[in-house]
Structure 1
């Protein structure tokens, strides 16, 4: 089945950025994809260093590889549904106030928008990508110097935008079929019917047609995608185990029974719920 799914590791980063910083920039390795989409008030950019990943961005599907540069705006719900074991990237987050100060010309005005029209994924040339990587590394190295870091974030943002504008445009690999997009949204909202036949009916396709299209366009089966969403909900509800029992959290997350939850959990996590709880309790609090 490939790498085990985890909502404890992988594509997770702390968006609690002190206001004086204006944003953050750091290099991360992504061991597992996100199970659910997310929004945050910062503009996000990813510069891929190695490996490949697949994003769902609204009703579009992007495949990223080395030297891909993608921009994720504050009102664009995005989700990484696939990542290779060697996937790594530079990740930048930029607060609206820093963007407003840095982008004073018409060329950069689009960066102040929350959800601009168009495609914002480009494939950089090798020399352009290495140059931008050097800028990012230099800014990240100044994280303990408030003035240099804040000013450097603006320079990194403008350098990335300049590289983007100079690169070849990259159209999305796939515009999601409207029925696939509806199925994704229903499952993520936890409003999808339990029966896949009923889900297909709400998406206005036969189950066989929806199942085939869904796998072709997302790389996941309907059941796999639904199970990942439910596991992510379980993780959010259960937290560190202080307020809900495992059974309560599993049922609230959408699982029909504890045996169903246990089977899916163990299959994806590589351990049972009890072992997961023990690992959580060993983690430092803070």
Structure 2
């Protein structure tokens, strides 16, 4: 894998799944209709929206399949900047990812500039010219400067959050509840009592907005936290991790983990132990 990779103007249908990864991501929404869930936040995207992602946070899109869902994604390893640039210039470029972590920007008047940079990067990434990838990286650095400038602008803040629809507001409140209580044993009746909204309505709106049931989202949040614990503390046993993320029975944890990750938690833990330490740091 190259240190920076671009998927430009992709419009193929997705098999929707919550996922995380150990690299940073820039997501740009060209066109379509899409709700995007990132950790404890849910966004209704508009063309020109740009999302910064800190990788390891659980995220998934829920696009409207009746219209083309056109997006560009850049995945990059932040470590490469230390090899590519003078140290004093690196911190400002990474600050938006490290301080904001997962953030939606509205590019506004700079939408065309961002799209031109992405198009230039796509052409250079596919070019057979000898120095094309170095020129690709220079365009990427330019894009990082644009992102940094957008983050400094008060107009870039999520101003639309103040005018969220009622349904989006309820979905956000359910996600906030899960984020606060995912390690506890709770039911939809508990959610209803906490939010003072019918559990049947919440379940229906959550599924329509995110594409997932409340408990599918809960289990993915627990499994993602389990993966994080395995990654940062290799001394924890599978049963300790199971208990910490909210499963009352180890067998249930193992079954759900394998369902989502395709392997047993013990196997996942062993694979991390065998991985190079540099990847895990």
> TM-score, with normalisation over the residues of structure 1?
0.57
The question of whether the paired residues in 1 share the 8 Å contact of 2:58 and 2:221 is answered with: no
Answer 1 or 2: higher relative contact order, Cα 8 Å, separation at least 6: 1
Unaligned runs of 5+ in 1: 1-12, 14-23, 101-112, 163-170
- Aligned-pair distance for 1:271? 2.2
Counterpart residue number, 2:269: 277
For 1:19, the equivalent position in structure 2 comes to: none
Moved over 6 A (4+): 29-32, 49-53, 92-96, 127-130, 159-162
Mapping 1:132-151, distance limit 5 Å: 132-137=117-122, 138=124, 141-142=133-134, 149=138
Q: 3-state DSSP class of the match of 1:271?
A: coil
C-alpha RMSD of the superposition: 5.2
TM-score, structure 2 length as denominator?
Answer: 0.58
User: Of the candidates 251, 261, 266, which is equivalent to residue 243 of structure 2?
Assistant: 251
How many angstroms apart in 1 are the aligned matches of 2:193 and 2:72? 39
Partner in structure 2 of residue 154 of structure 1: 142
Which residue of the other structure, out of 82, 92, 95, is the alignment partner of 1:97? 92
In structure 1, what is the Cα distance between the partners aligned to 2:188 and 2:121? 45
Q: Does 1:183 align with 2:174?
A: yes
* Residue 270 of structure 1: how far off its partner (Å): 2.1
Relative to 1, partners in 2 of residues 1:143 and 1:260: Cα closer, same or farther, differing over 3 Å?
A: farther
Question: Which of 230, 233, 246 does residue 225 from structure 2 map onto?
Answer: 233
Query: Which whole-Å CA distance do the structure 2 matches of 1:263 and 1:236 have between them?
Result: 18
Supply the distance in 2 between the matched residues of 1:252 and 1:53 (Cα, whole angstroms): 33
Tell me: CA distance 1:51–1:249, structure 2 relative to 1, closer, same or farther (3 Å).
farther
In structure 1, the partner of 2:27 is 46
1:216 matches 2:195: no
Task: Summarize deviations over 1:55-79 as a string: whole Å, max 9, x none.
Answer: 1367653358xxx54323699xx86
Contact kept, 8 Å, 1:136 with 1:156, in 2: the verdict is no
What 5-or-longer segments of structure 2 have no aligned partner?
64-69, 79-88, 126-131, 151-159
Aligned equivalents of 2:202 and 2:41: distance in 1? 15
Q: CA deviation at 1:54?
A: 4.4
